[in-house]
Amino acid sequence: MSQILPSLERYHRPASLDEALRILHEGGASVMVLAGGVSLGMVPRRAVRGVVSIERLGLDAVEREGGTLRIGAGVTLGHLERMLAGDSPVERLLMVTVRRTATTPLRNLITAGGVIAGVGPWSDLPVALLALGADIVLNGTTVISIERFLADGPRSIAGAIISEIRMSVDGVKGGAFIKLGRNETDLAMASASVVVFDDGVQPRVRVAIGGLVSRPLRIEAVEESLTRGVIDRGALSELLGSLVTPRHDPRAEAVYRLDLAGTCVMDCFETATREASA
Amino acid sequence: MRVTATVNGSPFSCDVAPGERLVDVLRAHGLTGTKYGCGSGECGACVVLLDGEPVNSCLVVLPRIEGHSITTIEGLGTPSVPHPIQEAFAEAGAVQCGYCTPGMVLSAYALLQRNPHPTREDVAAALDGNLCRCTGYVKIIDAVMMAAARLRGEALS
Ligand SMILES: Cc1cc2nc3c(=O)[nH]c(=O)nc-3n(C[C@H](O)[C@H](O)[C@H](O)COP(=O)(O)OP(=O)(O)OC[C@H]3O[C@@H](n4cnc5c(N)ncnc54)[C@H](O)[C@@H]3O)c2cc1C
Ligand code: FES
Ligand code: FES
């Protein structure tokens, strides 16, 4: 039998966040947080001697409170898909994004927190969360924007546990997520999400792209041009090209990824504005 | 470490290293209907049900099943008393080499538990994590639609 983590000696199942944080603190770099565990098969693991499972931490609720949607970090994407209601633009956007993530059996393992903490160019949900302007809660108390987390990278939260993802649903009028891969279940060669907000003063959009560089990016320069209606598909890809240098690998060349990203953004913008004006 | 769970409705416990994969432990305990393909979550040959939901057992470390319920293909039907989905797979010609079949059948079972009236698109979506290198999928979807109709008690035209 081949072990997935041959170096693993201890599997901790703490029943409280405090206990989990204590084990993580004492274990240092040799102990990691374990959520769905899907990443264990994807990357060669460093010498992990212990894991701290988040299963018993009670991070498995999806709650709507006032104008806020709160998703526990331990909620699997499969469960999230079943819990989301199609009656608000935010939940519709999350549903579309989750359904485009990985496959049915993988979604029953991958967690909302794991997909953020394990972020990479392949990540889908973080793209939509970035466009939505979501926040993540660390250790049950510290709130940081997903934008800051994605800018600083996962190392910036080493030793912490993402406990919740939360976002405001007020003012969100429309949203879209599009991912292009070689087939339905492929990792993104490029993806985008656009969200239209209207707080009664001035409509504005937020734009995020994925698949191009190591983590999803918010593209503010594109947001402005889209809001002013002064950009077409070709100009959009050109503008993206002036802002990012995409990855180039055997799955897709950099210039092709840029082209795909431009198409994703434009199609998302059309879908999101249509939803907002419906 | 000692892990205790329910497998195919019966109590199950064993002593394992914490990094063991569920697929390997099931097979070592004679439940060889669960297949090992890619080992990285891509093929679905190793799919089992964890609390009724399909998961890739090659990515599940054994301590993760502590206190949970696992269903393998052996828990669904036997050669003498097959489950209607297994019968439909055989009748529809949905099986060639058969390596993908246990995972396909379990994914189909989870779908039909939740949605007894699936469309062909629903079936394709539910089986998106199960690769078949032999059949081309059409007969597999036919089989799940046939099983769904039978489980609803409908006569087939
Ligand atoms: C075959 C395959 C296909 C995939 N397809 C897609 C896809 O289409 N789209 C996509 O977006 N992703 C895809 N993924 C990637 C997957 O979403 C990531 O690997 C994700 O990180 C897995 O989440 P998890 O819950 O299983 O986390 P784990 O594997 O348990 O952990 C991932 C990392 O995050 C850390 N971590 C987990 N939870 C927390 C927490 N709450 N707080 C702090 N740290 C934490 C862990 O320590 C680890 O470093 C795919 C993966 C595979 C293997
Ligand atoms: S062996 Fe598990 S998905 Fe291929
Ligand atoms: S029947 Fe051979 S892989 Fe599906």
CATH code, domain with A247: 3.30.390.50
Cα dist from A78 to A111, A134, B66, B154, whole Å: 9, 20, 20, 30
Pick from A37, A87, A83: nearest CA to A62: A83
Tell me: do A86 and A155 sit in the same domain: yes
Pick from A159, A121, A122, A119: nearest CA to A138: A159
Tell me: do A73 and A26 sit in the same domain: no
Determine if ligand 2 sits within 6 Å of the CB of residue B43: yes
Mean pLDDT by 10 residues, chain B (157 residues): 97 94 97 96 97 98 97 96 97 97 98 98 98 96 98 80
Question: Pick from A3, A38, A108: which is nearest to B50 by CB?
Answer: A108
Angle (CA) A221 A156 A79, round 5°: 80
B28 contacts in chain A (CB < 8 Å): 1
What is the SS3 assignment for A234? helix
Chain A, nearest residue to B61 by Cα: A4
Question: Is residue A233, in this structure, part of any structural domain at all?
Answer: yes
Provide the pLDDT for residue A44. 54
Question: Is residue A5, in this structure, part of any structural domain at all?
Answer: no
Residue A159 backbone zone (phi > 0: left; psi -120 to 50: alpha; other: beta): left
Tell me: do A186 and A253 sit in the same domain: yes
Q: Please state the rounded mean pLDDT for residues A83-112.
A: 96
Confidence of residue A199 (pLDDT cuts 50, 70, 90): confident
Cα dist from A47 to A12, A32, B139, whole Å: 16, 10, 45
Q: Is it the case that residue A275 has pLDDT exceeding 80?
A: yes
Identify the domain containing residue A31 by its residue range. 10-53
Question: Is residue A190, in this structure, part of any structural domain at all?
Answer: yes
Give the number of residues written for chain B. 157
Provide the pLDDT for residue A85. 85
Tell me: do A221 and A242 sit in the same domain: yes
The pair of three-digit structure tokens given for residue A153, joined into one six-digit string: 């990278």
Q: Residue A23's domain is classified under what CATH number?
A: 3.30.43
Q: Residue A123's domain is classified under what CATH number?
A: 3.30.465.10
C-alpha–C-alpha distance, residues B48 and B7, integer Å: 10
Tell me: do A96 and A110 sit in the same domain: yes
Q: Please state the rounded mean pLDDT for residues A200-212.
A: 91
Q: Is it the case that residue A149 has pLDDT exceeding 60?
A: yes
Provide the pLDDT for residue A201. 79
Q: Could you tell me if the ipTM is greater than 0.90?
A: yes
Superfamily for domain range B2-75 = Beta-grasp domain (3.10.20.30)
Tell me: do A151 and A192 sit in the same domain: no
Structurally, how many domains does chain A consist of?
3
Show which of A168, A192, A213 is a domain's final residue. A168
Provide the pLDDT for residue B157. 53
Question: Is residue A115, in this structure, part of any structural domain at all?
Answer: yes
Show which of A144, A168, A192 is a domain's final residue. A168
Confidence of residue A45 (pLDDT cuts 50, 70, 90): low
Q: Which amino acid is present at B13?
A: S
Q: Of A17-26, A44-53, A178-187, give the lowest mean pLDDT range.
A: A44-53
Q: Is it the case that residue A43 has pLDDT exceeding 80?
A: no
Show which of A168, A198, A214 is a domain's final residue. A168
Provide the pLDDT for residue A251. 86
Nearest ligand 1 atom to the CA of B59 is: 53
Provide the pLDDT for residue B111. 98
CATH class, domain B84-151, is: mainly alpha
Q: What is the torsional sign of CA B1, A104, A212, A206? A: negative
Nearest ligand 2 atom to the CA of B58 is: 2
Question: Pick from A3, A55, A104: which is nearest to B129 by CB?
Answer: A104
Q: Please state the rounded mean pLDDT for residues A28-54.
A: 84
Confidence of residue A230 (pLDDT cuts 50, 70, 90): confident
Question: Is residue A3, in this structure, part of any structural domain at all?
Answer: no
Most confident among A85-89, A163-167, A246-250, B18-22 (mean pLDDT)? A163-167
Determine if ligand 3 sits within 6 Å of the CB of residue B107: no
Pairing of strands B10-15, B2-7: antiparallel
Q: Please state the rounded mean pLDDT for residues A136-158.
A: 96
Tell me: do A158 and A195 sit in the same domain: no
**Interface residue ranges in chain B relative to chain A, Cβ cutoff 8 Å:** 1, 17-21, 24-25, 28, 39-41, 44, 47, 50, 53-56, 58-61, 63-64, 66, 107, 125-130
Question: Is residue A4, in this structure, part of any structural domain at all?
Answer: no
Tell me: do A138 and A80 sit in the same domain: yes
* Residue with the larger pLDDT of the pair B36 and A85: B36
**What is the Å distance from ligand 2's center to A94 Cα?**
27
Nearest CA distance, B128 vs chain A (angstrom): 6
Distance of CA A278 to the CA centre of its chain: 27
Beta strands in chain B (DSSP E): 2-7, 10-15, 47-50, 53-56, 69-71
pTM here is 0.97
Q: Where in chain B is the domain with CATH 1.10.150.120?
A: 84-151
Question: Is residue A139, in this structure, part of any structural domain at all?
Answer: yes
Provide the pLDDT for residue A41. 64
